[in-house]
Chains A and B, each alone.
Chain A
Amino acid sequence: MKVGVVVFPGSNCDHDTEHVLRDVCGQDVRLVWHKDGNLGDLDAVVLPGGFAYGDYLRTGAIARFSPVMKAVGEFARAGGPVLGICNGFQILQEAGLLPGAMLRNGGVKFLSQPVHVRVERTDTPVTAGIPAGRVLTMPIAHGEGNFYAEPEELARLEGEGQVVFRYTTKDGRLDPAANVNGSANAIAGVCNAARNVVGLMPHPERAAEPELGSADGRQLFEALVRVLTPVAR
C-alpha cells in the first residue's frame, strides 16, 4: 500500500504519521507538499495534525484552498480512502469533504490529554475489522475540537451512521465529563456519506507504540492496511 501524507506549512504531525505508517506498519509512504496538485499512484491519503497556515482566520480555512486539496477532493470523490487527523479533520470540514465544523472547546482551554473514544462504526477504511464498541485511548491536542452541526444535520448524521468515534469513559459509557471539549453528541470522529473519508480529533499516530503509553491508535492504520492490501493467495 502506498500512502501519501500531506504537508501544509504548519503541519506538525506529518513526520509522526509517516513514522507510524512506514516504521510501525511497514508501508510505503510519501510526503506530499501542499502545492503538489497531483497525487500520482497513492492508495490512501492522510491529512495530519498541526496548525496549517497558523490556523489564521479559522482552523483549516486557508489550507483548504491549497492546490493539493483539489486533488484530494477528486481522490475522495473517486472513492479513495482519506483520513484527516485533528487539523486534517478541520481542513476536510472546511473543504466540504466532511460534515460539521469545529467550535472553540466548550471550556475555552486548549486541551492536551489522553481521551477514550468508542468505535461506533466499523464500515470505514480506518475502523474495518475493529470490534464495534471497542474503546480506544489516544491523546487529543486542540483548542477547536467542539464538533458542531445544525440539529437537523446532526440527526441526519446519526441516522446515516456517519458518527465513527464518540468520547466516552474508559469502559465505553457516555458521560458529560468524558466529552472534554463539549462536542455535539460527544462526536470525536465522522465519515462522509460514501464512508471513504474519515476525520477524528484524537491523534492515533501519537498512540501507536506501547512506549508511548498506548498502542491503540495503531489499529486505525492497520485497518487501512488490511482494507487496501490485496489478500495473498
Chain B
Amino acid sequence: MPKARVYVTLKKSVFDPQGRTIHEALRSMGYEGVADVRQGKFFEVDLESMPAERARETVDEIARRVLANPVIESYRVEVEP
C-alpha cells in the first residue's frame, strides 16, 4: 500500500514569525551556529492499494487543493510504493 509524505513550507518570500521566534530561542539557548529556522507542516498519507503513478497524482492534487495554500505556501510530495 503506497505511503505518501507531504511537506508544506512557507514560500521563501514569506516572513515566518514562528520560525524567527524558534531561531531567537535557539540563539538564546547558546546555539550560535544556527543561521535560520523555517517552520512547516508534515503529512503522512496512507493510500489504499493503487499504482504509484495514480498515488502520486492523487496526493499531489490533495496537497495543491487542501494541504497547502498556494498564496503563501509551497509543497513537496514523496511517494513510497
Could you tell me which A residues sit within 8 Å of B by CB distance?
57-58, 61-62, 65, 93-94, 100-101, 103-108, 146, 148-150, 182
Contact = CB atoms under 8 A, between A and B. Distances in A.
A148 B72 contact: yes
B69 interface: yes
B29 interface: no
Interface residues of B, number: 14
A216 to B, nearest CB: 29
8 contacts: A57-B41, A57-B66, A58-B69, A100-B71, A103-B14, A103-B15, A103-B16, A108-B21
A101 B69 contact: yes
A62 B16 CA distance: 22
Interface of B: 10, 13-18, 21, 41, 66-67, 69, 71-72
A70 B10 CA distance: 28
A148 B66 contact: no
Contacts of B21: 108
A103 B17 contact: yes
A101 B14 CA distance: 11
- The 5 A-B residue pairs with the shortest CB-CB distance in the complex, in nearest-first order: A101-B71, A101-B72, A108-B17, A104-B17, A108-B21
B17 A106 contact: yes
Contacts of B69: 58, 61, 94, 101
A148 to B, nearest CB: 6
Nearest to B39: A104
A65 to B, nearest CB: 8
A146 B71 CA distance: 13
A60 to B, nearest CB: 9
Given A100-B71, A106-B15, A148-B71, 6 more contacts: A57-B41, A58-B69, A103-B15, A104-B18, A108-B21, A148-B14
Nearest to A94: B69
A150 B12 CA distance: 11
A72 B77 CA distance: 32
Contacts of A62: 66
Contact of B72 (A65, A103, A106, A107): A103
